[in-house]
Amino acid sequence: MPDAMPDATPDALPDALPDALPDALPDALPDATPAPSRADAGRPAALTDPLGPPTGITPSAPCRPLIVIGAGALGGHVAVRLARAGVAVALLARPVQARAIEASGLCLVEAGRAQAITVSVFDRIDALPWAAARAVLVCVKSGDTATTARALAPWLPPGVPVLSLQNGVDNARVLAEALPDAPLLVGLAYLAAASPRPGVVEHHGGGTLVLAPATPMAENPAGHEAENEAENKAEPARPGAPPPVPVALADLGAALTAAGYTVQTVADARPALWRKLLVNGCCNAVSALAQADYAQMAALAPVRELLDALLDEGLAVARAEGVALDADELRAAVARIAQTMPQQRSSTAQDLARGRPSEIDHLNGHLVARGRALGVPTPSHRAVWALVRLVESVQAAARPAHAAAHSVAPAR
Ligand SMILES: NC(=O)c1ccc[n+]([C@@H]2O[C@H](COP(=O)([O-])OP(=O)(O)OC[C@H]3O[C@@H](n4cnc5c(N)ncnc54)[C@H](OP(=O)(O)O)[C@@H]3O)[C@@H](O)[C@H]2O)c1
């Protein structure tokens, strides 16, 4: 398996990566990387490179495309990196994004350089090259997972793997409900990307992807047996049968490694998904409600106490879910954010600042819902979740057109 690191657990990652808490990073860091000028973004694809020699590669590999759903920050980053590496990719975008990408390529701003890369883009799900699809990468926000899954269901050919690269611990379950026959994978993206405008993606750091079967190997003995690559080669799948999940993992791992990501594969992503959920559950809403950066949050003793309470409640929910996490390590990780990213605000803060729907229902809201189901009190999560929902609903009411397009779900 490419770049497989059998010894590396997801929990080991954050210490290895200064930017390993991507959602503790804002999804837009206006000061971190200069945005490309209009002229940069408008130059012909694969030629734009005002800051260095041309390095854009027009994808030409005549192979089955990876279908990326969502042309925002993460999906745009993955699609443009794949296309730049010559990996066939087909990107499902909103019409305004598709028009921008068709006109000028998908512009990647990375390490101070801007490149526009030709990417095959579609604005209708039925127009995607389904017959040749190699895998589907779901890169929409968690609130859009159910709609996206239902939209995929009529088109997804049997056996084509689906990888959720989203934050949150519930996306695989939602995808499985609508796509019961798809081999499902989950991934954690330890990177910070932003899309300041349609057709432009900024990379602000990180680049590790942790991939795993959606159903942990231990609960999937057949898949576990097939983990050995030689075995997979020796025993090809029945014609028409879905490929074993480990084959899909290896294939996606190879493509994403070629795209320049550091890819790790693990048997069970739950500890890493929950770890990220708990860190984000501590930091995101508080940063959002105060529009405060992490240093400002850490400077106030009552806020530090609130973060502690949020973490304790989150750990109790995780324990009740059967996910064991290292409380001391997590406490240290939360404290470290103020040192490693003092001036930054959470992605939820960015969403509220722009009047966009956040993923709060899938962060603190999920912990509240699971806590209620499992008999674990979560008063601090309930308070910050309710307040973020209130801000969202006030914003939605102030913008009727926006409210119609992105209605806020009713309170749970
Ligand atoms: N950004 C990062 O650095 C980063 C890092 C790690 C993990 N993540 C996770 O990755 C996920 C995506 O985050 P993001 O930052 O990329 O969000 P984003 O910038 O809002 O991108 C999501 C894009 O998907 C579009 N979309 C939603 N449903 C669609 C559909 N059915 N068809 C076509 N397009 C659709 C959205 O359009 P509309 O806005 O018009 O709905 C938006 O352009 C989240 O779960 C996030 O937590 C992000």
Same domain, 278 and 264: no
- CB-based burial, 122-140: b 16+ in 10 Å, e otherwise: bbebeebebeebbbbbbbb
The CATH number of the domain holding residue 134 is 3.40.50.720
Report pLDDT for 27.
Answer: 32
- Domain boundary pick from 235, 268, 301: 268
Ligand 1 atom nearest the C-alpha of 362 is 45
Split at pLDDT 50, 70, 90, the class of 58 is: very low
Same domain, 192 and 52: yes
**Residue ranges lining ligand 1, Cβ < 6 Å:** 22-23, 27, 69-75, 92, 94, 139-142, 144, 147-148, 151, 166-167, 189, 191-193, 195, 359
Give the DSSP letter of residue 144: G
pTM for the full predicted model? 0.82
Ligand 1 atom nearest the C-alpha of 190 is 6
- Alpha carbon of 267 to ligand 1 centroid (Å): 26
Does 21 reside within a domain? Answer: no
The catalytic residues are 276
- Alpha carbon of 188 to ligand 1 centroid (Å): 14
Same domain, 168 and 291: no
**Amino acid of residue 203:** H
CA dist 288 and 64 (Å) reads: 41
- Domain boundary pick from 268, 297, 327: 268
Report pLDDT for 245.
Answer: 82
Query: From atom 45 of ligand 1, which residue's Cα is the shortest distance away?
Result: 166
The CATH number of the domain holding residue 276 is 1.10.1040.10
Q: How many domains does the chain have?
A: 2
Same domain, 119 and 249: yes
- Domain boundary pick from 223, 240, 268: 268
Answer whether residue 333 shows pLDDT above 70: yes
Predicted confidence (pLDDT) per residue in 220-277, tens digit: 433 333 333 223 333 334 454 445 688 999 999 999 999 999 999 999 999 999 999 9
Does 5 reside within a domain? Answer: no
Question: For residue 133, what are its two tokens?
Answer: 């699809």
Site to probe by mutation for ligand 1, drawn from 94, 108, 124, 128 as the one with most ligand atoms within 8 Å of Cβ, is 94
Does 411 reside within a domain? Answer: no
Question: For residue 153, what are its two tokens?
Answer: 């269901």
- Alpha carbon of 219 to ligand 1 centroid (Å): 30
Domain that holds residue 396: 271-405
Instruction: Count other Cβ atoms within 10 Å, centred on residue 394.
Output: 9
**Residues 168, 171, 173: CA angle, nearest 5 degrees:** 130
Predicted confidence (pLDDT) per residue in 99-117, tens digit: 999 999 999 999 899 999 9
Same domain, 75 and 167: yes
- Alpha carbon of 246 to ligand 1 centroid (Å): 26
**Amino acid of residue 348:** T
Ligand 1 atom nearest the C-alpha of 142 is 45
Same domain, 351 and 362: yes
Answer whether residue 53 shows pLDDT above 70: no
- Label residue 375 exposed, middle or buried (CB < 10 Å: 0-12, 13-18, 19+): exposed
